[in-house]
Structures are given as C-alpha cells and as structure tokens.
Amino acid sequence: MADQQLTSHETVDRAEATTAELVRLAGDQLTRLVRDELQFARMEMSVKARRFGVGAGLFGTAGVVAMYGIGVLIATAVLLLALVLPAWLAALIVAVVLFAVAGVLGLLGRGQIRRGSPATPEQTLNSVKADVQTVTEAVRKRGH
C-alpha cells in the first residue's frame, strides 16, 4: 500500500503499473513539481523585494538626515577657513575638496555596482537542482 500514488483521478500501484501509467504519473508529478517550484520562487522573490524596499527606504531617510549634517559641517569648514583667508577663497577651497571626494566616491560606487550580481532566487535554484538530481537518480534506478 505504501507503494501506491494518489493522482488526480485514481490510485496507481507502481509495482504493477504499465509504462503508460508510469509515464502519465511522472508527467503529473513533474507538472506539480514545476508549479510548486515556481510558486516557491515567487514567494522567495517577494520576500526579498519587500526587505529590499524597507531597507532602501530606511537607507534613503538616513541619507537625507546625513546630508543635513554634512551641510552643517561644510559650513563650519568654510567659516573656519574664513578666519585666516578671504571668505570667497575659503568657500572655493571647500568646494574643490568636496568635488574631489564626490569623484572618488562615484568611481568606487561604479566599481561596486559592476561587481554586483543579479538578484536570483538562490534557494529555489538549489531546490530545482536537487529535484533534477533526484529524478535523474530515480530514472537511473528504475531503468537498471
């Protein structure tokens, strides 16, 4: 009884099933497996997308607050330099330094983006690989 499989229409005894019944049963199972794997991939990607969205929102908010803080520090640097230099020269020096830092950060950011990999449902891919290996081994055992 443990060697029987319930399909959508009937129960098939695998030990005494014809090749056609086994092929139909395998097709049904493969269809169900692919449908389940696709559903799993969809769920996995939606969880990742949700986490990415929340993280991006928090990161963006932190960036805005940090920009205000940086603005105050920049104004402080200009005022500090204005104590020993004309105000216009102090502001120019600070602006040149800021543009240099922005250029370096932009180049570093571009390098990181190039090294990034595309978002993939890793768990689902590993699960599909395991399913393919299981089916392959089962076919090999059944054939020999």
pTM over 0.95: no
Question: Cα angle at 61 between 117 and 48, to 5 degrees?
Answer: 35
Q: Where are the alpha helices (DSSP H) in the chain?
A: 19-81, 87-115, 122-143
Tens digit of each residue's pLDDT (9 = 90 or more) over 27-65: 899 899 989 989 988 898 888 888 888 888 999 999 999
Tokens of 130: 């395991």
How many other CB atoms are found less than 10 A from the CB of residue 37? 16
pLDDT at 70: 92
Q: Please state, in angstroms and rounded to a whole number, the distance separating the CA atoms of residues 56 and 44.
A: 18
Are 131 and 37 in contact, with CB atoms under 8 Å apart?
Answer: yes
- pLDDT in the model for residue 22: 84
Is residue 99 scored above 50 in pLDDT? yes
Predicted confidence at residue 2, as pLDDT, reads 44
Query: Given a cut of 50, is residue 117 above it in pLDDT?
Result: yes
